[in-house]
Each structure stands twice: as structure tokens, then as C-alpha cells.
Structure 1
Amino acid sequence: MMNLMHWRLLVAVTDHGSITAAAAQVGMTQSAASQAMAGMEAALGAQLFTRESRQTLPTALGLKVIEQARVMLGALQIIRSTVNDARPQLRGTIRLASFPMVLAAFLPPILRRFNQLYPGIEVTALEVSDDEVNTLLEADLVDLGVVLNPGPERNATLLGRDNWVAVLPMGHVLSRRSAHETVSFEELAAQPFVLATGGCTVNARSLAAEAGLVLRDVRVEVREWSSAFSLVREGVGVSLMPEMTLPAQRQGLRIMALSVPIHREFALVGSSTRAPSAAANALLQMMAD
């Protein structure tokens, strides 16, 4: 079976007069190159080269075949150049800021797919808090940022959404309810509380304030979600956390839905001071599609 590397090999052998030198040029071993040449001659049913002690020279038929191979390879290069010249947005860089959880959970598969589609665009991801994302966007230091609960004025591209859920230690009075029962935010706010922020300004305290509530007894405040789960297991208090942060192993925990659901959205937005670059638009368009 003949492929482009085989045709490049034949041209290189003609140019160098040596299978060894030609193999090195196209990235093959000498033995693999010899086998490939023999396979092509067998497939075509004709001898393309003569092998002498120090040189490998094309036959008269080989010269005609290789002339057409040069035309074919040249046409392929022209096609590639034409496509690249017509799509300049396929080259460039994107500076993207995100808070840790989304950067770890949502962005990797998106960025892998984007790299496959646009290998000429380099994406640099910065891990920051959610309020730092907005600061970087306003200062025009990044091209795109992941923000929480964007308003309609942000022209955002949705990445995902999840619900806030109550997390209680097993044996807590509220966790004794049946599997289908819920718990109110008011009930949670009145309990000893483990406040987890995840490095975000949107957390149980800010959500309580929006609902006109106060967390009456915050026993401990932590940044890491994993630390909060451990503290809840130990009975330090109850908590309110995003659903996507829940651990795979939930022994010792009771997860309950809120009676009035609260959800959050995270989305990509661009700088408010300038239009997205061609590279950033390519990423936004891929996600929109």
C-alpha cells in the first residue's frame, strides 16, 4: 500500500542517490526504506531504481514516475498553503483565566478538542479565583475568562451548570428524612456550619445574603472542598456545596436537595474593552457549534 511518505521517499532517493540519506530525510530507518521501495515496485509491477554498490539510481521509467510524484507532492503543498492563507485565524494564542474547579473538570476535554481542530493556536490557561478572572478581563490581560452566573450583557458562552446541595453528616437530625425529602436553606443556615468557598466569592455565605439569610454559626471556613467534606463527616457542621464538587466516596455524608433549588452557571466571556481575537472567536465558535 502506497502512501505520501513512500512517494516522498522515492523523490528523496532520487535527489540523494542513497537510500540511507533518503531514509534519514523522511524519518525512516534504512531497512524500512528499502522494504518500502521494494513494496512500491512490486505494487506497480515495474523496476524504478537500479542498485549499485554506492548509488541507487532511477531507471528511465522511474524518472517519469518520480516526475509525476513531484507534481503530486507540489500540488499537495499548494493546497495546504492555500487553506492556511485563507484561514489566518487558525494561528495565534489565547490567554484564558479560570477558577480551579472548572479548569480541572470542564476545560481539559474542550481544550483537547480545540487543539485537534486548531493545532496552530496555543492556549495558555491561568488558574485564579473567580473575582480575579473579572479583574484580569477588565485589565485586558486575558482574552477569555470563566465567570459564574454571567448576566445577559456579558454575551457569554455557556460551559455548564450545576445545583447547590446540602451536605450533612450521617446521623444529623435533618439527614434522618426520607430519600425523597428536601431541606430548606433556612434550616441549613440555622445549623453549625462548615463554610467552603473553593476560592470563589460565590459561596454559601453570599448565597445566604442574597436570600436574606445569615449563617448564624460558622464553625470553620475552608477553601478546599475536600477539607469541608472531611469536617462534615466528623460532625463539625453542615454545609452547602456545588453538586459537581461531591466526592465519589460519600460514606458518612448525606446529600440532600434544597427545597427551593439554587443553581449556578459558568461560562466563557471575553474582554469588555475589545472584541475577541480571531483565535478566541475560533474557540467560542467551536463551543457554540
Structure 2
Amino acid sequence: MLDPWSLQVLIAVGDRGSFSAAASALSLTQPAVSRQIAGLERRLGVRLFTRAARGVRPTPAGAVAIDLARDSLTRLRALEARLASFADLETGELRLAAFPSANTHFVPEAVRRFGQLHPGVTLSLRQLDQMALLPAVQEGSIDLALVTEWHLYAEPWAARNAPAGAEPERLAVEGVELVPLLDEELLVVLPAQHRLARRRRIRLADLGDETWIDGAHPDCLGPVTPLAEALGAAPTIGFWCDDWTGKQALVAAGVGVMLMPTLAAVAMRRDVVLRPTSPVLPPRRLYAATAAPAFRAPAVTAMLEILAELALSRT
């Protein structure tokens, strides 16, 4: 019987197109990866890869083997998750991931409440590339990730799997359930001394000449079309910053303005002001992405309940 580790090496080589890239991803040496593939080829009696101009490419047999290996590992992870659902909340681990604005207050408060209720469960918060959040849930390396609908529409599979007019929660994300939590309003942040800072609501048309501060997806200006229509032209982006502390510091320095989702509003500086906009920009929906209910561990269910309570308190 083939061992799961060999299948994982096979998939890594197929996905990355070279032994060296697969070795780097798996923290192995290139010769070790070569030996694993050679051993698989001897065991199966077929050649799995051929040399290409740069790296390797699967043979027809190799392509079939990669697909079957991927399916086999998915089933093994499902087995592990299903058995974990019989465990209690006295021990275990809960692995979380989120995006920066959710980490300013929402996630830390959820972690605090969970820790008080279930001190025996080890919590960890992983830092991942934003476009890796949903794949991490699919692969089982993360138990729960907070994502937005902007993640969903930006994913490469979204355009392939979304029927016309589909709601984000209807997207085909195999093995993942998207639990809606709340809709965030997008507000504008100005320096406290800005000419419009005393207004209760800011007409976006009055900010058409401003320099804007943008950031990494999804903590960015979002879908630009509604903002551009309200401004009367595409926003002039002068600064890029992924960190909310740094973005606010740029606003406070008077070099630009930005949009802030309500999740990050609790962490505002005193030398900036937060104002609703006219027109109101389309809200951003927040989801918890987890394994499908049949494979969900009790710790994930408990965290979902806490997140739902926190979301309700913000509406």
C-alpha cells in the first residue's frame, strides 16, 4: 500500500513542476524528492514524470496518479476530521486564520472568550497569504478562517464555479461551508484637521481630488467601480500599506485618506476621524469558512457560536 507521504510528494511535484520547488515547499532536499518519485515509479511500474525544458511535467499516467493521490489524501483528512468530531473540548487544538482588520479586535475577542470557556484547547492564529485562506481550510491545515465576499470573488475558482448571479455562500467550494456572520459598512477616514472633518457625513464627490491609501486584499479600497462612480473618477492611489496602524498614521500625517471597514474601527487613532459616506458604499460580508458540518470538530462549532454572538453584538 502506498503511504500518504509519498502521495503528498507526488502532488507537490505535479503542482510545482519541478523536484527542487517541491523540495522547498516540503522542507526536503531535492535528492530526497527524486528518491520518493523514483520509488513510486518502481512500485507502480510506470513513469510518472518526464523532463521538460524547465523542470518536469506529468506523463499521462502521472496525471492520473496525481488526481487519484489528491482524492485519496482528501479522504484521509476527512477520516481524521470525522473521528476528531467524537472528541470533547477538554483537549485538542483549534487553528485559526484571518485578515488584518479582523485581527484588530474581532478575532482577539473571540479567542479571549473561547479560552475562558475551553482552557484545555490550544488556540493558534496562523498568518497566511489572503488568497491561501480558503485552500488552507480545504486542505485541512486550518480549522476556521475568516474571509469576506471579496475573497470569494477574487479566488481563481470563483469565476469557474459561480453560476450567474450566485450568492457567495452558494459558490462551489468543495468540502467548505461558508457561515455568514455580518455585513460591514465601509467608512472614510480623514485627518482630524481635514477641511471636511467636521461634517457628519462625507460626500465622496468632495474627495475626488484627494490622494488615497490602499492596502492588501481584502483590506483595500474594495471593488473600485462604486467608489470611482461616487468620486467622479478613479481614485488616485498614492500610498500602499497593509498594516492598519501604518495606514492610520499616513492619514494622520495628512498625506491621504482611506476607507475603513467597521471591524477595524475600534482601533482608531485619536488624530483621525471616521465618517459615513454619501452615497453609502456597498457593504462587505464577513464569513467563517470551516469544514463541512459532517467533518467539523467540536472546537470549531464552539468557536462558530462565539463568532456569531460577537457578530450579533455589532449589528
Q: TM-score, normalised by structure 1?
A: 0.55
Where does 1:60-209 land on structure 2 (aligned, <5 Å)?
88-90=87-89, 91-149=91-149, 151-153=168-170, 154-156=177-179, 158=181, 160-169=182-191, 172-173=194-195, 175=196, 179-184=199-204, 186-188=205-207, 190-197=208-215, 199-204=216-221, 206-209=222-225
CA deviation after TM superposition for structure 1 residue 288, in Å: 4.8
Q: Is the 8 A contact 2:100 2:243 kept in 1?
A: no
Asked which structure has the greater CA Rg, the reply is: 1
Q: CA 1:231–1:116 in structure 2 vs 1: closer, same or farther (change >3 Å)?
A: closer
Cα distance in 2 for residues equivalent to 1:201 and 1:110: 20
1:261 aligns with 2:277: no
- Segments of structure 2 that go 5 or more residues without pairing to the other structure are 1-85, 153-167, 171-176, 310-315
Q: TM-score, normalised by structure 2?
A: 0.51
Q: Is the 8 A contact 2:97 2:146 kept in 1?
A: yes
CA deviation after TM superposition for structure 1 residue 157, in Å: 5.0
Q: CA 1:274–1:196 in structure 2 vs 1: closer, same or farther (change >3 Å)?
A: farther
Q: Is the 8 A contact 1:89 1:278 kept in 2?
A: yes
Q: Which amino acid aligns with 1:194?
A: W
What is the root-mean-square deviation in Å for CA atoms of aligned residues?
3.2
Cα distance in 2 for residues equivalent to 1:100 and 1:136: 17
Q: Deviations over 1:224-266 (max 9, x none)?
A: 2232333233332222222443454433x44321113233333
Q: Which amino acid aligns with 1:152?
A: E
Cα distance in 1 for residues equivalent to 2:218 and 2:144: 19
Q: Deviations over 1:62-81 (max 9, x none)?
A: xxxxxxxxxxxxxxxxxxxx
Q: CA 1:129–1:210 in structure 2 vs 1: closer, same or farther (change >3 Å)?
A: farther
CA deviation after TM superposition for structure 1 residue 142, in Å: 0.9
Cα distance in 1 for residues equivalent to 2:291 and 2:138: 6
Cα distance in 2 for residues equivalent to 1:108 and 1:249: 19
Q: Which amino acid aligns with 1:133?
A: L
Q: Is the 8 A contact 2:203 2:278 kept in 1?
A: yes
Q: Is the 8 A contact 2:178 2:287 kept in 1?
A: no
Q: Which residue of 1 aligns with 2:290?
A: 270
- Percent identity reads 22
Cα distance in 1 for residues equivalent to 2:302 and 2:289: 13
Q: Which residue of 2 aligns with 1:17?
A: none
Q: CA 1:283–1:216 in structure 2 vs 1: closer, same or farther (change >3 Å)?
A: closer
Cα distance in 2 for residues equivalent to 1:88 and 1:113: 20
Cα distance in 2 for residues equivalent to 1:116 and 1:170: 38
Q: Which residue of 2 aligns with 1:46?
A: none
Q: Which amino acid aligns with 2:251?
A: V
Q: CA 1:139–1:273 in structure 2 vs 1: closer, same or farther (change >3 Å)?
A: farther
Q: Is the 8 A contact 2:213 2:258 kept in 1?
A: yes
- Segments of structure 1 that go 5 or more residues without pairing to the other structure are 1-86
Q: Is the 8 A contact 2:137 2:291 kept in 1?
A: yes
Q: Is the 8 A contact 2:130 2:217 kept in 1?
A: yes
1:220 aligns with 2:242: no
Q: Deviations over 1:103-133 (max 9, x none)?
A: 3411233223323333332222213343232
Q: CA 1:145–1:221 in structure 2 vs 1: closer, same or farther (change >3 Å)?
A: same
